[in-house]
Amino acid sequence: MKKLGLYIHLPFCVQKCLYCDFCSFAGSDRELMRAYVSRLCRDIGEWSARCAEHSVDTVYFGGGTPTLLPISEFERLMGAINRYFKLDKDCEISSECNPATADREYLGALRKMGVNRLSIGLQSANENELRAIGRIHSYADFVDTYNSARSAGFDNISADLMYGIPEQSIKSFERTLDEVISLEPEHISAYGLKIEEGTPFGRMRDSLILPNEDSEYDMYMLCSECLEGAGYNKYEISNFAHKGYASRHNIKYWMGEEYLGFGVSAHSYFGECRFANSRDIDAYIRGADICSENRHISPPEKLTEYVMLRMRLTCGVDHGDFKARFDEDFEALYSKKLDGYVKQGFVISEQGRTFFSDKGFFVSNYILSDILDFE
């Protein structure tokens, strides 16, 4: 059977962080949550008939803060997924979780219903840095949640970190890395801060005091050095994992595999089409057609997406696979622009593959925009 990933967007959170551009809503209105889950279950049921030839090998609950959802509503969602889709026996079922939003009992219930991977949003082990980005938890809260997850039976835990944030120094980031490494999670993600329009940080852009670009580069390189030195394998720009613990769901995105997104703002790639839902939660709950984007991916677009997404991975582009998929020679298409980056050490091309070096990853958006002729 064909493989399919499911993404379920749960947009509720206690308080929006100052940098957050995701579709999320502060508050925990139980009636709103119940109505939202009812619409999710309906959509899941309606889509199942179109996916009869697929089995699901990954499910991802993202947010927002999924663990704000009452456990009874989470059980209702999982019940719908199991009822309408065929899940592989080794299906990876992930949920995001913010510290202090789920206790041992809640996490135990998640584990019992089949969730087998937890992604905990720490961001920093430094209290001043957490306050500076609008997080409402402490590092101690993170440790408590992490230990509760372990005692609940989770043996696949990821910790999310950020660098380049206000109040942060190279030394404080190194201390955060050391603290997290000492806990031995199976997976660690580390993302550079991006200032997005429409966020509080976007409105504060001119007054924010942030690490300069050189310091941010040093943090990125330090992160790779520390995590790889601790036995984590870097498999994507921002993601590191012990062997066998890379996020199978996220790899679907980067490998151009099919997935369905349910809920407000959720994106999908299915049947050679990309489509997305709008961010209007009221319209979604009412049952309105909220598709905000729906387009067939043309062959040239598919080729460009392939390069853009595969180059996020440390394995990069396999020239043979590229030729088999598109009947084009990768080096003939891109070597003229890539040669300069190869000479500068940003890109490596060897043994039939082209991929970024560590320092190349830091400026990968610029390089990809250049070689793919993005404006």
Domains of the chain, residue spans:
2-253, 299-375
Name 352's Cβ contacts closer than 8 Å, sequence gap at least 6: 318, 319, 320
Q: Are 318 and 303 in contact (CB under 8 A)?
A: no
How is domain 299-375 classified at the CATH fold level?
Answer: Arc Repressor Mutant, subunit A (1.10.10)
Q: Are 66 and 96 in contact (CB under 8 A)?
A: yes
Tens of each residue's pLDDT in the chain, 375 residues: 899 999 999 999 887 666 766 666 666 789 999 999 999 999 999 999 999 999 999 999 999 899 999 999 999 999 999 999 999 999 999 999 999 899 999 999 999 999 999 999 999 999 999 999 998 999 999 999 999 999 999 999 999 999 999 999 999 999 999 999 999 999 999 999 988 887 778 788 777 889 999 999 999 999 999 999 999 999 999 999 999 999 999 999 999 999 999 999 999 999 999 999 988 899 889 876 666 667 889 999 999 999 999 999 999 999 999 999 999 999 999 999 999 999 999 999 999 999 999 999 999 999 999 999 865
Q: Are strands 157-163 and 117-123 parallel, antiparallel or unpaired?
A: parallel
Pairwise CA distance, residues 252 & 255, whole Å: 5
Q: Are 232 and 186 in contact (CB under 8 A)?
A: no
Helices and strands counted in the chain (H then E): 15, 17
* Domain 2-253: CATH class, spelled out: alpha beta
Predicted TM-score of the model (pTM): 0.95
